[in-house]
Amino acid sequence: MVGCQGRVWAVVLHYRLWQETVECVRSLFESGYPNLCVLVVDNGSADGSAVELARHLDDRAELLPLPENRLFGGGMNAGLVRALEQGADWLLILNNDTLVEPNMISHLVDTAQSSPDIGVVAPLVYYADAPTELWNAGGRRRRFWPFAHQLGSMDQEILGRDEPIAVDYVTGCAMLASRAVLERVGLFDPRYRMYYEDADLCARIRQEGYTIFVDPRASIWHLVGRTSATEPVPNRYHRVRNRWRFYMAYNRGVSKALAALLLLGQEGLRGMACALSGKHDLARAHWRGLYDSLRDGGACHDW
């Protein structure tokens, strides 16, 4: 693809799972949405999958190869910068291990255009292996509790509703934002590298006065855990490390102290459970993520 002039740019971050990426791109083009450009960012795949991806990728899609793995935040930012440079009005951030419902893009754009106060719109995310089972419908902060509550099928307002639902956070698995919002707020914070970079972006968007919605009319199916399973040890480190970073950054006073105590208890028990079950590599990654959180309170180290 050369010089795509679409209003909506879907940025798909690829790492190793080339078959899943090809299917994701196919589902985007099968949606038939007009003025759609698709940019696939190869995040430094070093296993030969990038060659297969280039061979099988739809020739309507643009491929942006990166020389190294910049993890989610850095890799996605490279694609977003490219799309903005090419004149994108709307940017659809999308995991490669997803399949989109044909009307998803049109529903998201319609909702996003309905008010200038809307910063991000996301679809309902279902399990690809259980297509009617809801995985993620956004999250909300809770009063007197430092952690967000993830909405799901047990929340009555999700069931059978067509109107957009106001939330505080949506997953980076699939989210639509406008050029104006990203130019004002900025892209993903590269310090997060992977995990909680989406929550941080949503928090910054809300701080600028924008609202965040999930559109129940829009659906996507996600192969949950497929990408993270390729490198479980560094993924565990970054998940623990960035969970601490996020909740320490966006809680204050008593809430921050409570978050610190709960995080220490929860992550300590999870690390112990890994060790007791014989998953020693994961346990070490878990403990190192927690140790780095306490030691420097900010920096995230290479694994």
pLDDT of 225 reads 67
Q: What is the pLDDT of residue 299?
A: 45
Predicted local distance difference test score (pLDDT) of residue 142: 84
Examine the domain organization and report whether 45 and 60 are in the same domain: yes
Q: Tell whether 64 is covered by a domain.
A: yes
- Domain co-membership, 98 together with 237: no
Give the pLDDT of residue 3.
Answer: 61
Q: Calculate the CA dihedral of residues 285, 126, 96, 49 and round it to 10 degrees.
A: 70
42 beta partners = 14, 65
Question: What domain count does the chain have?
Answer: 2
Residue 101 located in a structural domain:
yes
The CA distance from 92 to 207, in Å, is 21
Long-range pairs for 268-271: beta carbons < 8 A, 24 or more residues apart: 271/240
- Same domain as 205, residue 149: yes
Residue type, 282: L
Instruction: Return d(Cα 250, Cα 219) in angstroms, integer.
Output: 29
pLDDT at residue 46, as a whole number? 85
The whole-number mean pLDDT for each consecutive block of 10 residues of the chain, a chain of 303 residues, reads 76 93 96 93 90 92 95 96 96 96 96 96 94 92 86 67 92 96 96 92 97 96 75 88 93 91 90 91 90 69 42
Looking at the fold, whether 209 and 71 belong to one and the same domain comes out as yes
Q: What whole-number distance in Å separates Cα of residue 71 and Cα of residue 77? A: 10
The pTM (predicted TM-score) of the whole model is: 0.91
Q: Rounded to whole angstroms, how far apart are CA atoms 15 and 246?
A: 25
Do 201 and 55 lie in a common domain? Answer: yes
pLDDT (0 to 100) of residue 232: 85
Residue 255 belongs to domain spanning: 231-296
Do 198 and 61 belong together in one domain? yes
The H or E element containing residue 91 is: strand 90-95
Q: H-type helices in 150-207, by residue range?
A: 179-185, 197-207
**Cβ-contact 265, 257 below 8 angstroms:** no
What 3 state SS string does 204-246 have? HHHHCCCEEEEEEEEEEEECCCCCHHHCHHHHHHHHHHHHHHH
Q: Are residues 150 and 253 located together in one domain of the fold? A: no
**Any idea what DSSP says for residue 151?**
P
Torsion of the alpha carbons at 169, 225, 127 and 176, rounded to the nearest 10: 40
Residue 107 lies in a domain: yes
In CATH, what number is assigned to the domain containing residue 93? Answer: 3.90.550.60
Retrieve residue 83's tokens: 């799309």
- Both 130 and 253 in one domain: the answer is no
Helices and strands (H and E) in the chain: how many: 9, 12
Q: Is residue 28 part of a domain?
A: yes
